[in-house]
Amino acid sequence: MKPSIGVLGGTGPAGSSLGLRYASLGHNVTLGSRDPERAKEFVNTLDLSALTGTLVGGDNLSAAQSEIVVVATPWDGAEATLTSVAQQVQGKIVISMANALYKHGRNMHALTLPRGSVAQHLASCVPGARIVGAFHHAPAKELGDLGSSLHSDILVCSDDSDAIASVIELVNEIPGCRGINAGNISAALAIEAMTAVLINVNIRYKTRTSLSLSGIEAGNK
């Protein structure tokens, strides 16, 4: 039985794509939203015929009942959303995929948060959760397009090495994705900030770039 997945802020492009993808891989997924009616309506617009798991909309509290919880809100809503379900996520793996970015002129820039990154900030706000940074660079469009195979190395970081191993397994379920153990949660600073660089590269080169790390043979480490 694959673990259920709840996505906080699950109606945005990143969260909904991730949720849809994992529902297609046999997970039971809840897309959470501040507005549960909106989440339900949103799910009704999706083509669910290819799913081997389930996908439902609900509020963030119901999403937080899942075995694995993903924070996919905008970065500045992540703290409030996660702390509102702090009790529900105690002891659970909580994947932070938010990036703190801002646009200045034509360029995206990374914001440096006082604790370094969104993931580190969440780890300090909800110390009982097993915060893992992952999926920061994953292209939402390809994630949500179930016919499309990704070619992405997904950098996974946490201070909880068992949680890293679990999330790497989860990543490796997605065709074309490979989870890479990026170490300690302090890596989230670099990983989140790199998202701004990749977006700028996408704009400049009119592409949808992905990151690959050469020379890595094994899967989980």
Q: Which residues of the chain form contacts with a second copy (CB under 8 A)?
A: 107, 109-110, 112, 116, 151, 155, 157, 180-184, 186-187, 189-191, 193-194, 196-198, 200-201, 204-205, 207-218, 221
Q: 57 or 133: whose CB is closer to a second copy?
A: 133
Of 92 and 136, which has the nearer Cβ to a second copy?
A: 136
Give the list of residues 6+ apart from residue 10 with CB closer than 8 angstroms, or none. Answer: 16, 19, 30, 31, 32, 33, 39, 57, 63, 70, 72
Q: How far is the CB of 104 from a second copy (least distance, A)?
A: 8
Question: C-beta of 151: minimal distance to a second copy in Å?
Answer: 6
What is the chain's Cα-based Rg?
16
> To the nearest whole angstrom, how small is the minimum distance from the Cβ of residue 46 to a second copy?
26
Q: How far is the CB of 215 from a second copy (least distance, A)?
A: 4
Of the candidates 79, 80, 85, 97, the residue with the CA atom closest to the CA atom of residue 13: 97
Number of Cα atoms under 13 Å in the Cβ half of residue 68: 23
* Neighbour count for residue 12 (Cβ, 10 Å): 18
